[in-house]
């Protein structure tokens, strides 16, 4: 009689756990990062005595052998890899867009064109003081546009530094959290609900880390993750309960780098995916754009001032510099204050001579002129940005597919849960009836006595 009661009681306990698991699955439908749980059941066997002491003689009920997660390691890896690729492309595209904004918002190209157009107008009547004033004003606008464009690129570089440092701080926080989860996994009973919850947290942390930089992961028998940064050959960032610290470095030339400090060792990291790789690419592009702009500004001011020096102004005096440069090549101001000082005439020409302006206009070379070089830079950046966006669209579709494939195996399907709910309810009710039947039989026996 006691066997009948214990069998029924084991069923009630086991199927109650199974029902709780199904209820938890249903409650977490659509919850980001939640992996479907399954209650694993096994029979309780009775062992014979005497010469049959080691032989199983029958079933003595049911027991819960563990709670398992419907996780797919390979599909989760595919999601992380796809997310890492997408994050790099989107981050790089964002900073290419920032460069485009810096180069176009201040209308530097239009200001250069206006300056040369004003010189063309003045060449038709070199004695016109109003036309000279227009040219001087155009020079002021061009100088201001150079200065503003240079500052915009400098601001973009500073903002990128801030964003990159914030990303490394986030990565360090995720590493610390993962180390704590690893420690919790080691302390949890394998196959328990707590272990399943920690497994979900571990996978979510890994997915978040992969959007910051490409990672390589290994799992031990307990489920603890060891994480390397920058691929399988990169330095260890998290191992067991220990996490390292990532730092962002930048030299005077604007080149960026990353290092990991862990257990007293400092190792360089070269991200090939994730936001950090996108920031590194963006920093390189900003430096290149700044260098190109500096070159255009230097050549422009040098050429204009040199042409001024070889000509004569409206009063027949030798021309003085039109532009003055500050701390950087793009920090340009107009040094000339009197429009009569524009050296329109050649060294031997009179007031109506415009040969020096012709020399100025000749610098508008269709391949090497300031306007064309600026246009080429803007066009090249725009082409790179468009390419990144197209790649990003494709990578976004790949990531969405990877997420869908993962969730199809590890996500909650309400139809399946409804079937399990009905099945375990019936099993629970049957076990309850076994207990009730055992009680009824015991009560009948007691009444006979």
Contact criterion met (CB below 8 Å) for 321 and 327: no
Confidence (pLDDT) at 2: 53
pLDDT, tens digit, for every residue of 195-225?
A: 889 999 999 999 999 999 999 999 999 999 9
Most confident of 54-63, 81-90, 246-255, 422-431: 81-90
End-to-end CA distance of the chain: 16
Domain boundary assignment for the chain = 2-70+412-448, 75-99+157-274, 110-152+284-384
What average pLDDT does the chain have?
90
The enclosing H or E element of 215 equals: strand 215-219
pLDDT in tens, 32-74: 778 888 888 888 876 554 444 444 445 678 888 788 888 888 9
Q: Tens digits of per-residue pLDDT, 83-138?
A: 999 999 999 999 999 999 999 999 999 999 999 999 999 999 999 999 999 999 99
Radius of gyration of the chain, Cα coordinates, nearest whole angstrom = 37
pLDDT at 57 (0 to 100): 47
106 closest CA partner among 143, 137, 148: 148
Name, in order, each residue with C-beta under 8 angstroms of 89's C-beta and a sequence gap of 6 or more: 278, 388, 391, 392, 395
CA atoms of 373 and 365, how far apart (whole Å)? 10
| Of the candidate ranges 115-119, 160-164, 404-408, 436-440, the one whose mean pLDDT is the lowest | 436-440
Q: Indicate the range of 13-22, 310-319, 349-358, 385-394 predicted with least confidence.
A: 13-22
Do 60 and 86 contact (CB within 8 A), yes or no?
A: no
How many Cβ atoms sit within 10 Å of the Cβ of residue 364?
16
Contact partners, residue 227, CB within 8 Å, separation at least 6? 175, 178, 206, 209, 215, 216, 217, 236, 237, 238, 239
Mean pLDDT of the 381-410 span: 94
pLDDT at 294 over 70: yes
Query: Which pTM does this prediction carry?
Result: 0.86
Tell me, what's the pLDDT at 41? 85
Mean pLDDT, residues 322-347: 96
Q: How many CA atoms lie within 13 A of 241 on its CB side?
A: 6
Kindly tell me if the per-residue pLDDT of 401 is higher than 90: yes
Tens of pLDDT, residue by residue over 147-188, are: 999 999 999 999 999 999 999 999 999 999 999 999 999 999
């Amino acid at each position: 009689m006691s066997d009948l009661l214990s069998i029924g009681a084991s069923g009630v306990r086991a199927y109650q756990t199974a029902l709780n698991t199904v209820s938890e699955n249903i409650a977490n439908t659509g919850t980001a990062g939640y992996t479907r749980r399954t209650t694993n059941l096994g029979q309780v066997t009775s062992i014979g005595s005497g010469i049959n002491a080691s032989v199983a003689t029958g079933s003595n009920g049911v027991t819960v052998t563990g709670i398992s997660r419907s996780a797919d390691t390979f599909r989760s890896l595919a999601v992380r890899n796809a997310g890492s690729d997408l994050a790099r492309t989107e981050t790089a595209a964002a900073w290419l867009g920032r460069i485009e904004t810096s180069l176009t918002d201040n209308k530097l190209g239009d200001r250069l064109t206006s300056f040369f157009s004003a010189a063309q107008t003045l060449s038709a009547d070199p004695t016109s003081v109003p036309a000279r004033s227009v040219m001087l004003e155009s020079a002021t606008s061009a100088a201001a546009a150079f200065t503003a464009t240079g500052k915009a690129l400098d601001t973009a570089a500073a903002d990128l530094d801030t964003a990159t440092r914030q990303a490394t701080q986030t990565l360090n926080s995720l590493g610390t959290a993962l180390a704590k989860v690893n420690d919790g996994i080691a302390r949890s009973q394998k196959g328990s609900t707590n272990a399943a919850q920690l497994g979900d947290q571990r996978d979510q942390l890994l997915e978040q880390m992969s959007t910051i930089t490409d990672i390589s992961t290994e799992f031990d028998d307990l489920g603890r993750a060891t994480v390397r940064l920058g691929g399988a050959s990169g330095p260890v960032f998290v191992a067991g309960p220990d996490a390292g610290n990532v730092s962002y470095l930048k030299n005077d030339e604007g080149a960026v780098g990353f290092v990991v400090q862990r257990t007293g060792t400092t190792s360089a990291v070269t991200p090939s995916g994730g936001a950090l790789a996108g920031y590194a690419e963006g920093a390189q592009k900003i430096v290149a754009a700044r260098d190109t702009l500096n070159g255009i500004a230097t050549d422009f001011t040098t050429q204009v001032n040199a042409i001024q020096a070889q000509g004569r102004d409206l009063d027949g005096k030798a021309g003085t510099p039109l532009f003055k440069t500050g701390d950087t090549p793009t920090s340009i101001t107009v040094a000339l204050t009197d429009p009569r000082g524009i050296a329109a005439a050649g060294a031997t020409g009179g007031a109506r001579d415009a040969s020096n302006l012709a020399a100025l206009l000749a610098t508008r070379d269709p391949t090497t002129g300031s306007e064309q070089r600026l246009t080429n830079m803007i066009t090249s950046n725009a082409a790179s940005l468009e390419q990144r966006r197209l790649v990003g669209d494709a990578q976004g579709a790949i990531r969405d597919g990877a997420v869908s494939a993962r969730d199809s195996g590890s996500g909650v399907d309400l139809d399946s849960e409804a079937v399990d709910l009905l099945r375990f309810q019936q099993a629970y009710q049957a076990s309850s009836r076994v207990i009730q039947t055992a009680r009824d039989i015991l009560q009948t026996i007691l009444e006979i006595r």
